[in-house]
Amino acid sequence: METISYSECLKEMFALGRFGIKLELKTITDILERLGSPQKKFCSIHIAGTNGKGSIASYMASILRSSGFKTGLYTSPHLIKFNERFCINGEMVSDEDVVESFLAVKQADTGERKATFFEISTAMAFYLFAKAGVEWAVIETGMGGRLDATNVLQPAVTVISNLSIEHTEYLGNTLEEIAAEKGGIIKQDTPLVTGVNQESAIAVLNDIAEKKSASVYQYGKEFTVVEVESEMESKSECKMGIGTRFTYKGINVVWQNMETRLSGPHQIQNSALALAASELLIKQNIGDEQHWLTEDSIRRGLAGTIWPGRLEYIMQKPLVLIDGAHNLDAAENLGKYLQKHHASKLTMIIGILKDKPYKEMLQYMLPYANRVIFTRAKIDRSLDPQILKDFSINVMNVDAKVYIIENVEDAVENAIKSTSETDCICIAGSLYVAGEARDKILRDCLKDSVVEA
């Protein structure tokens, strides 16, 4: 077999981006058949949605791992290192694993149309998980559902987190059209857990599920949560590591004092979706004498979940919060969180991609900032910071200071050096900005500061 270095492997993979997005399943199906159908060698949970699917996937992987199962987790995009997309028992795979799986998939990519970046990486995930003897894999879709490369699975449970208007050029212009695409992951006789609450969208999902004899469990109907406000929450101040406690009123159970360390009110619903999916796995009697989902293992897995770059407190002095907030709903969630928890003085570092509704996103994120530094990630889809600055005058506090520092690492270094130890910095607007900032902080800026464990 051909041999290449890790850097050569990544260069060749990222070059595939020029072929764009191809929504069809024949190419990935043919590749997987040539690889011996690795996706059939483990059990799986399949997760789609607009926001929250990565958090839910992380919850599920942590719960399964806590219950004794060898667990794979496939998510995208990565924040710092490509290998983050493929985790086995909570650890990303090695550089050697990435190269070996890429070459195996490349050798199987002999169809009329060459595979795209996402198709290749998806096949790599299935290959890696099968080779490692993973028992359960939690798989996050890429962009859609029906024709997403991950939709070759036969999962035990499917999850659709929520829906909003996104990627209209591929998924449609209405919630109903997007629901039909995301709902394409629903499988015959396979239960669906969902947080979708728009009447028109849930009607589409219910129709798909009925045709496939799939039971639907909707947040707010078949299961819900009651938040228990913690002492930290009641203080309404920006602190490191604010999590959430709640009572889960489930499909068949009530679990008191469940905890998640992930911050933000939206994590209550994400947690509930993961718990409902876990309930359904218990109902299916998965496991054996050594591996079993129990209330205790589920509780441990939920509390131990880490999902970097999503409302993540990464430094103590000054307090630094990183949140990808890469679309309108995520920006709204961040804005609500900042309104409740921001320090008396807040610096924001913001970079947004060209295809995002930046005006609406800024309207949610900027009102609570005393200072804003606009920047841009290295990816060529990044929006010119000058455009962000020009619009910001419409929504900023009149006394707020606004700057442009184009390089993310320079913006982070400048903000940390010029911010009081008692104040807060929030980095947001793009997962790419979050990743570059997180890498800089972990590599160069922490020193004597405290990182959340």
pLDDT digits (tens, 9 = 90+) for 357-367: 999 999 999 99
C-alpha distances (whole Å) from 193 to each of 47, 146, 253 are 9, 17, 16
What pLDDT score does 233 carry?
46
**HSE-up of residue 15 (Cα within 13 Å, Cβ side):** 7
- pLDDT of 353 higher than 90: yes
Q: Which residue shows structure tokens 């449970």?
A: 157
Q: Is the distance from CB of 189 to CB of 210 less than 8 angstroms?
A: no
What pLDDT score does 227 carry?
78
Q: Is the distance from CB of 94 to CB of 112 less than 8 angstroms?
A: no
Is there a common fold for 6-217+281-287 and 312-445? no
Taking 3-state DSSP, the helix, strand and coil percentages for the chain, each rounded to the nearest 5, stand at 40, 20, 40
What pLDDT score does 231 carry?
38
- Distance, CA of 301 to CA of 313 (rounded, Å): 20
- What would the pLDDT profile of 93-113 be if each residue is shown by its tens digit? 999 999 999 999 999 999 889
Q: Where are the domains of the chain?
A: 6-217+281-287, 312-445
* CATH number at 312-445: 3.90.190.20
Give the mean pLDDT of the chain.
Answer: 90
Over the range 45-57, which residues count as b (16 or more CB within 10 Å of their CB) and which as e? bbbbbbbbbbbbb
- What would the pLDDT profile of 268-311 be if each residue is shown by its tens digit? 999 999 999 999 999 887 766 667 899 999 999 999 999 999 88
> DSSP 3-state assignment of 250?
coil
* CATH of the structural domain 6-217+281-287, one choice from 3.40.50.11930, 3.30.70.100, 3.40.1190.10, 2.60.40.10: 3.40.1190.10
pTM of the predicted model over 0.85? yes
Give the pLDDT band of residue 235 (cuts 50, 70, 90). Answer: very low
